[in-house]
Every structure is written in structure tokens, then in C-alpha cells.
Structure 1
């Protein structure tokens, strides 16, 4: 056990430009204390301008680095075979006019979408028909149905997205969060396959 190290690469990490990455930053490790301290200080990568915003480090690079610096060691790897490093520049403050413009576009766009949908399915006629069936009277504007329906539509959207402004209603992820998670996984897999130089080899590279 004393000369064995268990390594699990992190899936994704964020760093600042020009930051130096050590093994402890990109991987979880289990080893005896002296070996752990020695491996933690191994320099893996130095972020530079040419790296742009994403870097992929393969587990084979980590194994090569360890064996070159710490001979006679057994390495056991677990988990993902690549770690994706996202270079995050200093965030700029959000422009208030731009935020307001986007908010207005989304608000009125969603409102028009809902209204057009209800017009397509003739929701007003449905309410009028239901009102006539229940009461036996004809009313061009059955507000007794339309007002609760409008309130229920808003409450249903809040429950569906599981958020009221910044407050989460429960611990379950919303469908939007699940879709964003799946999109991020697909994006990470694409980056890992296409930006990892060790995963593919073209005929011109020979």
C-alpha cells in the first residue's frame, strides 16, 4: 500500500488564465502521507494564452508524469480518463440596460407564444363551451373559468421549473436543469474526443 497510489481524475475544473495546475488540483488521490505530499506538488500544466478557454488532460499524461518523477510506484486509476479544464477570464459586470432588454424580449416572446397557442387550440371557445354545459347559459367571457385558468397556468410553470425567482421549491432538479446537464455532458464528451490530441490520430500525423 505504501508504494501504491489510487487516482481519480476530476470531471471538470475551472481555472484563471496563467494559472499553474498541480496534480492535487486535477485529481483525487489516495496514498500514504509522504507519497501523497510528493505527488500533490507535481506540476501538471501551466495555462497560457494559446490555450484559449478549454484544455483536455488525458490520464496517460498523468501516469507518464508520475512514473518519471516517482519511480517504483504502482498507479491505480478510477473514473474518467480525461479532465476538462475551463479557463475562466475575469467576469465583466452585467449591463443593466442589456439585462432589461433581454428580460423584455423573453417576457413578451413567452407571452405571445402562450397567446398564439391558446388561439390555435381555441381555448376561449373551450371555456365558453364548458361554461354553457355546466350552467346552461351562454357567456362570451366566462371569467369564472378564465381567471383561475390563468392563475393556474402561472403556478404550473413555477412548479414545472421548480423555481420562484432564485428560490428553489424542492431539491429535485427541474426539467430545464436536466436538459442543461445532458447538454453539458454531450459538450464535455465532444470536447474530450476532439480536443484531446491523444484520443485520435490522423494519417497526416504519422
Structure 2
């Protein structure tokens, strides 16, 4: 019995405009060695302006094209049934003024959120009572508690997001990266269903 050709479709890829999408770009191929070079070089789609910024390559398109050239081989699909191709158009570099403005807005917004939270939970009163419990004295601003607390809050945020500018402290992804990954995965899944031309043809029939 002949060894089948195994195809594992990628979740998503990024290509430049007017790119020629070959099977090796959207999937990993293994199996019978004499078929692999030809199968990998098969052109599945030519990106054009009408594709806009997303193209969905369905596994059914791959199977059709492979069987048209090699009707005698057996194909085994592994992984996703579609690959979402993101067409990356050339974008201008954002101006330093725009980046600075966004950074200032985010900084002010984060500072206001932290201050409002501390006001809601009466953090100053808690620190005053803590100072009284430890020293027996009443003061309005127990700085020996407030200053280390503020420094620790900043260090805690840095460690929580696992980044200091471009420096990463360890290989563990930050919560923000996890959320972005989950959002991108959900977006690709949605696009794979809504923009799949093969499924649209089935519905039209």
C-alpha cells in the first residue's frame, strides 16, 4: 500500500500584495518524496486588488488541485481546514508626534484609573490606620508606607506585563499577548467561515 501524502494546513500567514500563493506557503507537506517538490510548488491563488486584505485558502482547493495532477495518490489532511491569508499592504511609519500623543493619553488614562480605584477603596485611610496600628501615632501622610507601595505598584505592573520597553524578562507570554492571540485566533476563525469561497459556492447551490 502506497504511503499517503500528509498535508497540515497553517492557521494563517502574511503575504505582500500581488503575491503568488503556493501550497508550501499555506501548508506543510510530507509523505512520498517524489510527489512533495511538485505539490509544494503548486500555485493556489494569485493575490489581486479585488481580494482586498484577506484571502481564505480552503483545504478542498488543495485537494482538487493535487488530485487533478496526481489522481492516484491518497491525501490525508491534518490540522485546520482553512488558511487565512493576510495581505500586508505597505503602511507609512507613524510620526513620533502621534506616538507621543498616544503614549501621553494612555499614561494619563492609566494614572486616573489607578487614582480613582484607590479613592474608591479609601486607600489613604487604610494606610493611615496601618501606620497608627504599627506606631501608635496619627499622621495624614504615612510616607514610609506610601512611597514603597507606589514603587511596588509600578514594579508589579512591569512584572505583570513581562516587558520593559523591548526587553522581555522570561519566555512566558504576558496577559496582553495572550488576549491579542485569542482575539486574532477568533478573528481568523470568523473570517475563515465568512470569507470562504468554497463554502459560499456550496450555499449558492
TM-score under structure 2 length normalisation: 0.95
Please tell me whether residue 42 in structure 1 is matched to residue 70 in structure 2.
no
Cα drift, residue 36 of structure 1: 1.0
Measure, in 1, the Cα distance between the counterparts of 2:46 and 2:200: 23
Aligned to 2:19: 19
Measure, in 2, the Cα distance between the counterparts of 1:195 and 1:104: 38
Aligned to 1:61: 61
For residue 33 of structure 1, give the secondary structure of its aligned residue in structure 2: coil
Measure, in 1, the Cα distance between the counterparts of 2:88 and 2:192: 18
Aligned to 1:136: 136
Aligned to 2:198: 198
Unmatched tracts of structure 1, length 5 or more: none
Measure, in 1, the Cα distance between the counterparts of 2:43 and 2:50: 19
Cα drift, residue 47 of structure 1: 0.2
When structure 1 is superposed on structure 2, of 3-12 and 57-66 the one drifting more is 3-12
Please tell me whether residue 173 in structure 1 is matched to residue 178 in structure 2.
no
Aligned to 1:33: 33
Unmatched tracts of structure 2, length 5 or more: none
Q: How many pairs were matched up?
A: 205
Deviation readout 1:69-104 (Å, 9 max, x if unpaired): 222111111111000000001232121110010000
Measure, in 1, the Cα distance between the counterparts of 2:24 and 2:178: 30
Aligned to 1:105: 105
Cα drift, residue 201 of structure 1: 6.5
Please tell me whether residue 72 in structure 1 is matched to residue 76 in structure 2.
no
Aligned to 1:119: 119
TM-score under structure 1 length normalisation: 0.94
For residue 193 of structure 2, give the secondary structure of its aligned residue in structure 1: helix
Measure, in 2, the Cα distance between the counterparts of 1:160 and 1:87: 33
- Given that 1:11 and 1:80 are in contact with CA atoms closer than 8 Å, whether structure 2 keeps it comes out as yes
Q: Which runs of 4+ in 1 moved over 6 A?
A: none
Measure, in 2, the Cα distance between the counterparts of 1:200 and 1:43: 22
- Given that 1:128 and 1:142 are in contact with CA atoms closer than 8 Å, whether structure 2 keeps it comes out as yes
Deviation readout 1:126-171 (Å, 9 max, x if unpaired): 1111001110000001001000000010011011111111111111
- Given that 1:2 and 1:31 are in contact with CA atoms closer than 8 Å, whether structure 2 keeps it comes out as no
Measure, in 2, the Cα distance between the counterparts of 1:67 and 1:201: 20
